[in-house]
């Protein structure tokens, strides 16, 4: 791997990590009214009231019906509900869907023009008004998304089976609070699929035209933690140290893609999620070993070999084998069967899998035949 290249890395999110750290939740200075986004499950477990109580002396509008894979209609409805209520800051407590929703609203609530439509922006590629997003506090409750440290949010158009990305250089959250205690009760399937998202972010940032020594260092550490921790965590899901390691790996993966963005595995994932309903991490994780082998052929600068070595695997080939072994142990094949990710179902989606802004980041450009080979090698 060569280091004599020009590169830059910027991430302005103030990250605080630690068991119980969410007890430090508070409104930003001089803010009196906020919008608090979370999922119904979080409220059912009594955690919404507990965390909302920390914002003493502050008025909170609590939105606890955020659904997985938020749609344009959902975020526009939240905007209509909250507009004019004097919201000064936004809090998101949840997985990737909640954080992306909160992030989208931190921007949309800064726009007073009632004529602005997010749908028109996405459909007509209309430019975004130059409004500064409201301060956002992001609290991930899964170890996978990395959204707490990125400047983009995934928003779906489910009617069109299409995924959009709301992205702005100033869309980073102001603060991220990472409390591994919040991940202790995650069920096995979510633990596995979100961990697959961690690995996807790490690898996607390496086989990426925008990779640099900082992102590769972060990615290698995330891969190392994923490989050594996931099997132990599945055997002992209440282990706070394992949960802390996976949340740290998730942070590292998020930091890496905050600079590089994602690549082909994510591009492949969108129709798999939209059509088959596969969870995001599973949809972008199942192709990783085959994609690693594909990209190895175009890795002029030796990024993958360097990453494998830093992750303690010796060679990129050995890394692919190790990933396959961990997938087997984690039951990835069984999960794929649950979402009917058969060769036939997956290959049908191949023509929809080239999202230019994602696939274009990939270090080796695939044609449709390459893609079909990767998919055939990866699906059931
Ligand atoms: Fe992802």
Domain borders along the chain are 14-181, 187-378
291's enclosing H/E stretch is helix 288-296
Interval between CA 115 and ligand 1 midpoint (Å): 32
Interval between CA 196 and ligand 1 midpoint (Å): 9
Interval between CA 197 and ligand 1 midpoint (Å): 5
Q: By C-alpha distance, which of 262, 286, 264, 282 is closest to 273?
A: 282
> Following CA atoms 223, 227, 228, 229 in sequence, which dihedral angle do they give, to the nearest 10 degrees?
90
Interval between CA 154 and ligand 1 midpoint (Å): 9
Q: By C-alpha distance, which of 18, 154, 9 is closest to 74?
A: 154
Q: Do domains 14-181 and 187-378 have the same CATH topology?
A: no
Give the model's pLDDT for residue 360: 87
Tokens of 175: 């603060």
Give the model's pLDDT for residue 56: 84
Interval between CA 201 and ligand 1 midpoint (Å): 6
Interval between CA 86 and ligand 1 midpoint (Å): 32
Q: By C-alpha distance, which of 105, 82, 79, 80 is closest to 92?
A: 105
Interval between CA 98 and ligand 1 midpoint (Å): 14
Interval between CA 263 and ligand 1 midpoint (Å): 10
Interval between CA 31 and ligand 1 midpoint (Å): 32
Interval between CA 74 and ligand 1 midpoint (Å): 20
Interval between CA 266 and ligand 1 midpoint (Å): 7
Contact between residue 66 and residue 38 where contact means Cβ atoms under 8 Å apart: yes
Interval between CA 222 and ligand 1 midpoint (Å): 14
How far apart are alpha carbons 201 and 162 in whole angstroms? Answer: 21
Interval between CA 116 and ligand 1 midpoint (Å): 28
Q: What is the residue-level pLDDT of the chain in tens, covering all 380 positions? A: 888 989 999 999 999 999 999 998 999 999 999 999 999 999 998 899 999 999 988 999 999 999 999 999 999 999 999 999 999 999 999 999 999 999 999 999 999 888 899 999 998 888 899 999 999 999 999 999 999 999 999 999 988 888 899 999 999 999 999 999 999 999 999 999 999 999 999 999 999 999 999 999 999 999 999 999 999 999 999 999 999 999 999 999 999 999 999 999 999 999 999 999 999 999 999 999 999 999 999 999 999 999 999 999 999 999 999 999 999 999 999 999 999 999 999 999 999 998 777 788 999 999 999 999 999 999 99
Interval between CA 53 and ligand 1 midpoint (Å): 31
CATH code linked to domain 14-181: 3.40.50.1970
Environment of ion ligand 1 (residues, CB < 5 A): 197
How far apart are alpha carbons 266 and 158 in whole angstroms? Answer: 17
Interval between CA 259 and ligand 1 midpoint (Å): 14
Whether pTM exceeds 0.85: yes
Fold for domain 187-378?
A: Dehydroquinate synthase-like, alpha domain (1.20.1090)
Interval between CA 258 and ligand 1 midpoint (Å): 11
Give the model's pLDDT for residue 295: 97
Contact between residue 104 and residue 150 where contact means Cβ atoms under 8 Å apart: no
Give the model's pLDDT for residue 161: 82
Interval between CA 304 and ligand 1 midpoint (Å): 19
């Amino acid at each position: 791997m060569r280091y004599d290249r020009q590169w830059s890395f910027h991430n302005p999110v103030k990250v605080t990590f630690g068991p119980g750290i969410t007890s430090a939740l508070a409104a930003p200075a001089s803010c009196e009214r906020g919008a608090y986004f979370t999922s119904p499950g979080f409220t059912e477990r009594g955690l919404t009231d507990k965390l909302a109580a920390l914002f003493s002396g502050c008025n909170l509008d609590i939105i606890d019906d955020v659904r997985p894979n938020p749609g344009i209609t959902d975020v526009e409805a939240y905007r209509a509900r909250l507009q004019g209520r004097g919201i000064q800051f936004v809090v998101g407590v949840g997985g990737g869907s909640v954080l992306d929703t909160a992030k989208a609203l931190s921007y949309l609530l800064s726009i007073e023009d009632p004529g602005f439509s997010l749908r028109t922006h996405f459909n007509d590629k209309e430019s975004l008004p130059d409004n500064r997003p409201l301060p956002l506090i992001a609290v991930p409750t899964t170890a996978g998304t990395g959204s707490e440290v990125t400047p983009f949010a995934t928003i779906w158009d489910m009617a069109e089976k299409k995924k959009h990305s709301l992205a702005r250089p100033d869309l980073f959250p102001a603060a991220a609070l990472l409390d591994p205690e919040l991940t202790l009760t995650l069920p096995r399937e979510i633990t596995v699929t979100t961990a697959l998202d961690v690995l996807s972010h790490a690898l996607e940032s390496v086989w990426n035209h925008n990779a640099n020594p900082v992102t590769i260092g972060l990615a290698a550490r995330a891969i190392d933690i994923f490989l050594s921790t996931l099997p132990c965590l599945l055997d002992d899901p209440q282990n706070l140290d394992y949960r802390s390691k996976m949340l740290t790996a998730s942070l590292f993966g998020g930091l890496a893609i905050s600079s590089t963005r994602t690549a082909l595995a994510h591009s492949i994932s969108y129709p798999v999620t939209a059509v088959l309903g596969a969870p995001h991490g599973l949809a972008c994780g199942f192709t990783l070993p085959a994609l690693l082998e594909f990209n190895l052929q175009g890795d002029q600068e030796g990024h993958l070999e360097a990453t494998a070595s830093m992750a303690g695997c010796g060679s990129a080939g050995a890394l692919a084998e190790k990933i396959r072994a961990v997938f087997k142990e984690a039951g990835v094949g069984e999960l794929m069967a649950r979402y009917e990710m058969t060769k036939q179902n997956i290959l049908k989606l191949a023509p929809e899998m080239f999202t230019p802004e994602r696939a274009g980041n990939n270090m080796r450009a695939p044609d449709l035949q390459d893609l079909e080979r990767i998919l055939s090698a990866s699906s059931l």
